Amino acid sequence: MQKINRKCQGCFKVQNRELMIKITKLNNGLLKINPSSKELGRSIYVCKNIECIKNLIKKKRIKSALKYTNANEIIKIEEELKKMLPC
């Protein structure tokens, strides 16, 4: 499989995309974690790592990196991210 690297929005290190969580702003305006390959939109990545997810949330990177302003949707996705990893 082709190795594609992406920057983590928590620690800003560049890593293999396969090891990361993808957050996509779908064309319908909603956010989705790890969308299928058919679901396209502007995306950001974060390591599968609780510290990176905490940083992503603390620094409001979903809002700034995705230029996304739907606060309710951001909260929903942040809760989903937290549930993916033990705190």
Binding site for Zn ion (CB under 5 A): 8, 10-11, 47, 52
Measure the CA–CA gap between 27 and 38, rounded to whole angstroms.
Answer: 11
Residue 57 CB, shortest distance to Zn ion, in Å, is 13
Nearer to Zn ion, 47 or 65 (CB): 47
Tokens encoding 1? 């499989």
- Residue 42: which H helix or E strand, with range? strand 41-47
Nearer to Zn ion, 24 or 55 (CB): 55
3-class DSSP state of 82: helix
Residue 63 CB, shortest distance to Zn ion, in Å, is 18
Residue 14 CB, shortest distance to Zn ion, in Å, is 10
